[in-house]
Structure 1
């Protein structure tokens, strides 16, 4: 997977600028790679956006060749234009003023792109930044680096009247649909669907803090909000409002074969402490 992704995203991708049908085959390679990532991972809209852009490099003729069996002779995106009733083809070439305008815009963007290009090869590369006040040229890096550890933020509640001083046995965790929680639960296959809340919780664990959306989530869970509860896989209180909430920070890793055999756990968690209370 790694070698294939590198070959397509660093090498084959340049062939979309080549003449047809080479560009169409290159676009299909890009689309195939992105679909594989959709099946094996989940990067929200990024894969689908790349697929949409790649489709623009596929020619009408290639579509007819690819899907021409049921639709012989169809022009998928082309509309024949006639200048007059005599059947002469219309002149659809671009006027000179439009060509000059496009060339000027291209030249301007090329000049503005010097800073993003220099940033690309910098030892202190900025992953998400804009280099002009109109935000015309930017640096965008999705997953420029990957962490080697899986940290998790767990939300727990209790119905004990003692609140935050309740015994440990009374604290129960809210289970999310996709992200790790229950140590015995297998990682779920959710792609191509995107679990937005679970996605946000993953990023929160990378830099835990008082994110406004997370504070709002705790408030709604404390109030027993039914809409928020439906975003979860399991509500340990069946819709009742807990007397207290706490947030624990844990380090997760996959269980080794002998650990799975002995206890049935899929994950092993190391408790790093309570980082917030509500």
Structure 2
């Protein structure tokens, strides 16, 4: 069938596949380096306990069959190796069926991780990586031109990512309709980046222009993805520019990066396509069958988008094949941070020698300027932002974090920027306090070189020792 393939998109496919392999590599690397303290056998939310109460059919994956920290580490590092092989183009050197099988491997491996990751993996970009990764299996390699149907499905994902985010904003916080959300967003976003302070201090009229442009990019431009070229390329290119702007303004894991990857698949880069034989009948049949399945599964995400009670970042099947997306339906006006401290004193008093634990990404020391981590995902730092919004977000795991700090747990301390206690002398007590943070003004920054100013609000967790972790309040 001549209509089945689009030879002109050979370079788009190549860039998409190599860029997606990078995202996979970052995801597996993060899992390998962070899992022990988070979901390991002695982690805050151990996988063995989770698989005991959640049946395999609700969370399919290899860890229902066997789990040990050594096995998980090998699994994650193997995922890194497969991702690196795909980045090097191994799939293009294999027969078509073998290349498809190779792309299926990281999808299945990461699905196993996400389905036992619990709250640490409850982010929209996890499902997005799995949905996009599944489509990549059927995009083919150098033995066949890119199939039109899969290219369409990739645009369909991109449409839902952008349009869903646009709808959730218009239905959510009034500041999006009033064009004022960026008066607050750069200061209150989960993990500011090195340029967020400067973005916050842009003139307010420019912030209003940014919000208006965002609405156009998310509510109008996505429709143009399904128009003829060069309009579709222009629409995808505008999305890429917008995502790069967001990448500069904050640390949103690989959400923006994988959106760029998706947009690359819609860009017609031109050039003379290589000669490829006609697609095999079996390949056409498989692609069309998968497309029919995914379009059928799109019913619930579409119904969610059209609903007045639209929800963000929901997966409707345990394989994460078709999901719904969205971000920042509401924007906080005030930033709160949980500051964790320990003391070696035998009796904890307000005037004790309380020393602050420093996290890698989340704000702590007002003089510590934020760093760029995305697309790498600092899972503990992100959950600490949620914990500051409400103790309910922290209930499942915060007590486990405190216990491990009191024990100077090596794997937990590796997730931090700095522990104030030597490895052989853990603290006697740990406490947590809630602070209000705000960006300093230009004048304050020139005088103090601090990017934050913080004010004590209340106790978050009273002084706690290893014998029993108190409840957070």
TM-score normalised by L of structure 2: 0.46
Instruction: Verify: 1:177 aligned to 2:360, yes or no.
Output: yes
1:202 aligns with 2:411: no
Whole-angstrom CA distance in 2 between matches of 1:167 and 1:132: 50
**Paired position in structure 1 for 2:229:** 20
Following superposition, the deviation at residue 160 of structure 1 comes to 0.4
C-alpha spacing 1:28/1:174, structure 2 compared with 1 (3 Å): same
Matched, 1:151 2:346: no
Partner of residue 325 from structure 2, selected from 137, 140, 145: 140
Report the RMSD for the aligned CA atoms in angstroms.
3.4
1:223 is matched with: 407
Say if 1:38 and 1:191, in contact at 8 Å, map to a contact too: no
- 1:236 paired with 2:420, answer yes
Moved more, 25-34 or 212-221: 212-221
1:79 aligns to 2:274 (yes or no): yes
1:245 paired residue number: 430
Gaps of 5+ in 1: 65-74, 82-89
Structure 2: distance between partners of 1:232 and 1:16 = 42
For 1:86, the equivalent position in structure 2 comes to none
Aligned to 1:270: 456
**Structure 1 position 54 matched with structure 2 position 263:** yes
Contiguous gaps of at least 5 residues in structure 2: 1-209, 466-473
Structure holding more helix per residue: 2
Q: Give the structure with higher Rg (CA).
A: 1
| Separation of aligned partners in 2, 1:170 and 1:17 | 62
Provide the rounded CA distance (Å) in 1 between the counterparts of 2:417 and 2:318: 44
Q: 1:115 to 1:257 in 2, by over 3 A?
A: same
Name the structure where strand makes up a greater proportion of residues. 1
Greater RCO (CA < 8 Å, at least 6 residues apart)? 2
| 2:219 is the counterpart of 1:10 | yes
- The alpha carbon displacement at 1:148 in A equals 1.9
Partner of residue 180, structure 2:
none
Once the two structures are TM-superposed, the CA of residue 243 in structure 1 deviates from its matched residue by 0.7
Is 1:168 aligned with 2:351?
Answer: yes
Who is 2:93 aligned against?
A: none
Which moves more between the two structures, 115-124 or 31-40?
Answer: 115-124
| 8 Å Cα contact 2:363-2:370 kept in structure 1 | no
Distance 1:108 1:255, change over 3 A: same
Residue 190 of structure 1 is matched in structure 2 by 372
How big is the shift at 1:93? 6.2
Contact 1:24/1:59 (8 A) holds in 2: yes
Q: 1:221-260: CA deviations, max 9, x gaps?
A: 2122344334333322243301111122223223456766
Shift of 1:46: 0.8
Q: Structure 1's 228 and 132: CA in aligned 2 closer, same or farther, altered over 3 A?
A: closer
- Residues 258/47 of structure 1: CA separation in 2 closer, same or farther (3 Å cut): closer
CA shift at 1:20, angstroms?
A: 2.5
Matched, 1:113 2:298: yes
Give TM-score scaled by structure 1 length.
0.73
State whether residues 255 and 268 of structure 1, in contact with CA within 8 Å, keep that contact through their aligned partners in structure 2: no
> 1 CA distance for matches of 2:233 and 2:275?
22
Shift of the 8–80 alpha-carbon distance from structure 1 to 2, 3 Å rule, reads same
Q: How many residues align?
A: 251
Displacement after TM superposition at 1:98 (Å)? 4.1
CA contact (8 A) 2:361 2:373 kept: no
Does the 8 Å CA contact 1:27/1:55 hold for their aligned counterparts?
A: yes
Q: Point out the more displaced range, 136-145 or 172-181.
A: 136-145
